[in-house]
Structure 1
Amino acid sequence: MIYIDRDKLHIGMRTVKSSVSVGLCVLLFKLLDRGSPMLAGLAAIFALREDWKRSAHFGIRRVGGNAIAGGFAIALIAIKSSLGLGFIADFFGTVIFFILLITTLNVLTMSDVIVGASATFLVVYFNIENDQTISYAVQRVLDTLIGSLIALSVNFILPTSKNPAED
């Protein structure tokens, strides 16, 4: 049975800020004819925290994690191309590179960005054109930076709720 907690049935400032941030990503990408705002929107949602200082901290870490993930995806693409591998690289390579990615992020005390970095790895590795490896990865990390900066700006400009439970 589903239980509805009526005390939580409200729209808090963090919800408003997240929604505004995603909307601004969509608008900016449309104005710049930049393509899909998906990663920027996700970055905005992931980066938006209780206040702008926490948003800045997490946004920086997210961009760093995504840069590492993009680099790993480029490395696996290079190995796959140079050795002429197909599904073998897709299967074994992703297993090995996920172990390397997660281990690297843990060693760098960045375990809080593993989920987002993993998504970036998959997006870059499986959606990239063979002649656009570095360019594509850089653009996806830039999307993350844009989304994080939008979230940071929205969190700085819009007021924070006086009651943290409402965020």
Structure 2
Amino acid sequence: MTKTEKCVPKLGLRSIKTAISTTLCAIIYILINRNPTFACIGAVFGMETNNEHPFKSGSNRLIGTILGGFLGMGLFYLQNQSQNKLIQILYLLVGIILLIFISQYLGYPGAIQGGAVVFYIVMLNTPADQTVTYAINRMIDTAVGVCISILINVVMSRKNMSCVFKNIKE
């Protein structure tokens, strides 16, 4: 193959599982008349390249979701007590440092990425009059997506998929 020729990228099992997880989230949320955005984001973050330990990586994501949500809720409330933009930015800094510290302290460094996403969603998108309900809904939505990804990771593990394809006759 020359430099000018391009290969068509192959879709791996993780890509297929991500597509299935996010689509399943969208279907469920559309059926219950809710916006699937945050569940789909949770599904993407919940999908792991190494599915030998799907519950470990899933628990990292769930812990991160909970930490980010509650830190975001508390600091959002405090942030709204001030009109000073510098103080508001300081709460963003303090919150992400706390999230990183607590995640590492609890032994869940893998929780930082998902926790940061939920933290910033809550801190930067929460309507002022809906702090608690908005934050809890974002935590639930993200957790649903993560749980669906864990389920898809388990059901569609390489081991399970190789058994399925081995039993298909030509």
> Which category of TM-score, normalised to the shorter sequence, fits these structures?
0.7 to 0.9
Identity %: 24
Equivalent residue letter for 1:146: V
The total of aligned residue pairs comes to 157
Q: Which residue of 2 aligns with 1:126?
A: 124
Give the corresponding residue for 2:55. 56
Distance 2:5 2:43 in 1: 28
The aligned amino acid for 1:127 is: N
Distance 2:24 2:94 in 1: 37
| Greater relative CO, 1 or 2 (CA 8 Å, sep 6+) | 1
- Which residue identity does 2:13 align to in structure 1? M
In 2: Cα distance, 1:108 partner to 1:144 partner: 20
Local SS of the residue matching 2:83:
coil
Aligned equivalent of 1:38:
37
Determine the C-alpha separation between the residues in 1 that align with 2:78 and 2:104: 24
Cα distance, 1:3 vs structure 2: 8.7
1:13-65 Cα offsets, whole Å, 9 max, x none, are 22111111011111111111111x222112212222233x6222212221111
Structure 1 residues 154 and 4: alpha-carbon distance in aligned structure 2, compared to 1, 3 A threshold: farther
Change (3 A) 1:124 1:12: same
Residue segments in structure 2 that go unaligned for 5+ positions in a row = 163-170
State the match for 1:148 in structure 2. Answer: 146
Letter in 1 for 2:100: I
Equivalents in 2 of 1:121, 1:4: separation in Å? 43
RMSD of aligned C-alpha atoms? 2.3
Contact 1:59-1:145 at 8 Å conserved across structures: no
Q: 1:17 to 1:4 in 2, by over 3 A?
A: farther
User: Could you list the runs of 5+ residues in structure 1 that have no partner in the other structure?
Assistant: 163-167
In the TM superposition, 1:85-100 aligns within 5 A as: 85-100=83-98
TM-score, normalization: structure 1? 0.82
Cα distance change of structure 1 residues 17 and 129 upon mapping to structure 2, 3 Å threshold: same
